[in-house]
Amino acid sequence: MRAVLAYSTLCAVFIASNAFAQTDVGVSASVLAAIQPVDDAYVGSPYLSEGIGGLGPGFGAGVSIITRDRLVVAGEYSTVRFTQIQDGRLVLGPFPLEHVPATTRLHDSVLSVLFGYARGESTKVIFLGGVGLRLDRPTINDVEAEHYDVSEKEFPAVTGGVDLLHPLSARAQLVITGRYTFNERDTRQQYLGIGPHVIRAGAGIRIRLN
């Protein structure tokens, strides 16, 4: 009986090891550029001089698992930074503050869980989609922008995109990445001209761990 149990255990370990060997587990880091269109619904005197957004630099990092069936599970962190001088009633408040300039900073960071499918052999194209958690709020003169309504519902950020993986060596791969995120903003952020559409693209390196 012990022999049978030992044999079964060895078989299970062998099968698990073989399955892990056929699974591609890796970590990646990328330099990003983001395009975030400004929400100009409230732009105009005396309410808001200009929104915040445009083109900004960023960084991304993640871990991904590609199974032998080409299914993909990934966790990603990405962040992009924008800075804008703003004034208006919706920034610091009504007279006498409506014409006082303030520095608004948006550190737009999202932690996402993505699922997808990989195509290709040595060079892979990976299609991904999932949801994300917002990690930051904008600041005005280094003070976090408050919620106008704490009961206001916030839905997860929804992300979809494509990765291209091209081998550079036995373990290193070039990563070219592109993401679109619909990041719904609460009322306070809309008043600052922060739009919900986020487009991020970049390139980096992925290292296979197994």
3-class DSSP assignment, residue 88? coil
The list of the chain residues with pLDDT below 50 reads 1-20
Amino acid at 158: V
The reported pTM is 0.84
33-85 residue pLDDT tens: 999 999 999 999 899 999 999 999 999 999 999 998 999 999 999 999 999 99
Nearest Cα residue to 50 out of 60, 39, 61, 58: 39
What one-character-per-residue DSSP string does 188-203 give? Answer: HHHHTT--SEEEEEEE
- The CATH architecture one would assign to domain 24-208 is Beta Barrel (2.40)
Token output for 17: 């090891």
Number of alpha carbons in the 13 Å side-chain half-sphere of residue 72: 25
Give how far the C-alpha of residue 68 lies from the chain's centroid of Cα atoms, to the nearest Å: 26
Nearest Cα residue to 116 out of 194, 49, 157, 64: 64
What pLDDT was estimated at residue 152?
A: 74
The residue ranges of every structural domain in the chain are 24-208
What pLDDT was estimated at residue 200?
A: 96
CA distance 123 to 100: 54
What pLDDT was estimated at residue 150?
A: 67
